[in-house]
Chain A
């Protein structure tokens, strides 16, 4: 396309299918402790599968 370039899979809706397994880290445990950043966590299931 000339005007738009899509750069990722845009798969949030699909992530619900196998989602909610709870293998991931609690978001506050890694290096926050005073805020809540979820978007920068990794999906443990995706990395294990």
Chain B
């Protein structure tokens, strides 16, 4: 399977099955679709890939008004040569790996350390913090038991990720510290390396908490939506006032003191700010250079929800964002936009790409009551309750269902060029919008594809710039 797309200055061809990226000229761009049926997904096994095969006359006839016979034949010969090396029209050979994930160890925990929040964000999927299950804080006993659960269920996994999430984790910061201390005390005994992340709205940050987070958290996710008016519209305090002036100050202080350690300022854009490139630039101009801003995933009945009708506008905005980021980089400055990151040579292995995020299989979420769900977005959906940390129950059948949620089991992925980059999308979004974790959510797919194209374009531009 191939996918071609254009940037203003580039024609790009992707071989989906082997991940190959090629820059192609206009002739090749125009004729490649006509060539594809002769090779399908056979690569070097295609009869047409044999040396000496020549361009079919019907292709030459089809493009004779635009290109000379020589141009078309030359381009065809280059395509054939790449197919002969399995660099184009390569085979889909990964289905054998699809079901190897069934017995995967669990390696990641989302610890919902607080089902309470001191903000009232309008789009909160956690129903302003409590996930509809009542405002509660996790006890140390539950947190400790969750760490034990992870230690026991992670054979052959040296790296264990724990994300302190909520609600607002800083509302239960003492337990965060106790859980970190406990996990660290077990690392040597179990041969594990814990990597901690905390996601915070920033309201309760002070010097002491900032220093602790910078010392102990491998990553910190700082929630803020961008421009003050955009942030304050969607992220008000319980009294209705905006949160921006408090959090921006706190986040700046944290990042100034963080050094080279990983962090992200992480925002959500909605239908109200489809000019979200301005929010990313606003965050950049405030001094943040690690930025993630994502679309809201909300029921289409809400006036700020993003729907299929918004996709064209969103695509335009990502184009604009590419130009803005290019301009920043050309000025010699650094900026990293999370969704434009891509490593074309050493990205994830194909086995990871088949499985995706691993929710419900390699990754689970634990609530303040000790309940276990496939991920933070399934919390409160009783049909997905997998068990409880306290009574040592765990539903292996639900784990099996999630382990089989991969690229080959998701019907819409079969013909999608982006399948090995997004792995069939977010299982929770699929369930929330389509009632089935295997039925990919089209709006998210559309945005994902645009961001992937943008990431590849930006990567190639960087590469060409370095060559100059």
Point out the residues of chain B lying under 8 angstroms from A32, CB to CB: 292, 294, 338, 357
Pick the residue among B15, B353, B420 that contacts A10 (CB under 8 A). Answer: B15
Whether B348 sits at the interface, judged by CB under 8 Å, is yes
Nearest CB in chain B to that of A12: its residue: B19
Point out the residues of chain B lying under 8 angstroms from A43, CB to CB: 343, 346-349, 352
Distance, CA A41 to CA B352, complexed state (A):
10
**Partner-binding segment picked from B179-187, B312-320, B387-395, B423-431:** B423-431
Query: Do B338 and A40 touch across chains, with their CB atoms under 8 A apart?
Result: yes
Question: Chain A, interface size: which category?
Answer: 35 or more
Query: Do A39 and B346 touch across chains, with their CB atoms under 8 A apart?
Result: no
Find residues 269-304 in chain B having any chain A CB closer than 8 Å to their own CB.
Answer: 292, 294-297
Distance, CA A18 to CA B197, complexed state (A):
27
Query: Do B292 and A31 touch across chains, with their CB atoms under 8 A apart?
Result: yes
Query: Do B157 and A27 touch across chains, with their CB atoms under 8 A apart?
Result: no
Find residues 26-55 in chain B having any chain A CB closer than 8 Å to their own CB.
Answer: 27-28
Query: Do B356 and A36 touch across chains, with their CB atoms under 8 A apart?
Result: yes
Point out the residues of chain B lying under 8 angstroms from A29, CB to CB: 108, 110, 161, 163, 197, 219, 363
Query: Do A25 and B338 touch across chains, with their CB atoms under 8 A apart?
Result: no
Q: Mark B9-32, 1 if CB is under 8 A from A, else 0.
A: 000010101111111110110000
Query: Do A4 and B421 touch across chains, with their CB atoms under 8 A apart?
Result: no
In angstroms, how far is the closest chain A Cβ from the Cβ of B181?
Answer: 21
Find residues 392-417 in chain B having any chain A CB closer than 8 Å to their own CB.
Answer: none
Indicate whether A22 sits within 8 Å of B420 (C-beta atoms), given known contacts A3-B74, A4-B23, A43-B346. Answer: no
Query: Do A34 and B426 touch across chains, with their CB atoms under 8 A apart?
Result: yes
Distance, CA A42 to CA B94, complexed state (A):
20
Pick the residue among A3, A12, A23, A41 that contacts B28 (CB under 8 A). Answer: A3
Indicate whether A39 sits within 8 Å of B342 (C-beta atoms), given known contacts A18-B349, A27-B356, A31-B264. Answer: yes
Whether B69 sits at the interface, judged by CB under 8 Å, is no
- Secondary structure of the A side of the interface? loop
Indicate whether A38 sits within 8 Å of B352 (C-beta atoms), given known contacts A4-B82, A22-B157, A28-B359. Answer: yes
Distance, CA A19 to CA B425, complexed state (A):
21
Point out the residues of chain B lying under 8 angstroms from A47, CB to CB: 346
Distance, CA A28 to CA B221, complexed state (A):
12
Whether B156 sits at the interface, judged by CB under 8 Å, is yes
Indicate whether A13 sits within 8 Å of B23 (C-beta atoms), given known contacts A4-B28, A6-B82. Answer: no
Query: Do B161 and A26 touch across chains, with their CB atoms under 8 A apart?
Result: yes
Query: Do B345 and A9 touch across chains, with their CB atoms under 8 A apart?
Result: yes
In angstroms, how far is the closest chain B Cβ from the Cβ of A45?
Answer: 8
Whether B87 sits at the interface, judged by CB under 8 Å, is yes
Point out the residues of chain B lying under 8 angstroms from A44, CB to CB: 159
Pick the residue among B18, B221, B292, B296 that contacts A12 (CB under 8 A). Answer: B18
Query: Do A20 and B429 touch across chains, with their CB atoms under 8 A apart?
Result: no
Query: Do B159 and A23 touch across chains, with their CB atoms under 8 A apart?
Result: yes
Query: Do B90 and A42 touch across chains, with their CB atoms under 8 A apart?
Result: no
Whether B148 sits at the interface, judged by CB under 8 Å, is no
Pick the residue among A7, A11, A30, A42 that contacts B197 (CB under 8 A). Answer: A30
Distance, CA A6 to CA B87, complexed state (A):
9
Pick the residue among A4, A19, A34, A39 that contacts B377 (CB under 8 A). Answer: A34
Indicate whether A10 sits within 8 Å of B19 (C-beta atoms), given known contacts A4-B28, A27-B356, A40-B341. Answer: yes
Distance, CA A9 to CA B19, complexed state (A):
8
Q: Mark B152-169, 1 if CB is under 8 A from A, else 0.
A: 000011110101010000
Indicate whether A38 sits within 8 Å of B349 (C-beta atoms), given known contacts A6-B82, A11-B18. Answer: no
Point out the residues of chain A lying under 8 angstroms from B346, CB to CB: 42-43, 46-47
Query: Do A4 and B292 touch across chains, with their CB atoms under 8 A apart?
Result: no
In angstroms, how far is the closest chain A Cβ from the Cβ of B82?
Answer: 7
Query: Do B356 and A38 touch across chains, with their CB atoms under 8 A apart?
Result: yes
Query: Do A26 and B292 touch across chains, with their CB atoms under 8 A apart?
Result: no
Going nearest first, the 8 A-B pairs with the smallest beta carbon separation are A10-B20, A19-B349, A39-B421, A26-B108, A20-B351, A31-B292, A12-B19, A15-B349
The chain B residues found within 8 Å of chain A, CB to CB, are: 13, 15, 17-25, 27-28, 74-75, 78-79, 81-82, 86-87, 90, 93-94, 97, 100, 104-105, 107-108, 110, 125, 156-159, 161, 163, 165, 195, 197, 199, 219, 221, 264, 266, 268, 292, 294-297, 338-353, 356-359, 362-363, 375-377, 420-427, 429, 444, 448, 451-452, 455, 460, 463
The chain A residues found within 8 Å of chain B, CB to CB, are: 1-13, 15-16, 18-47
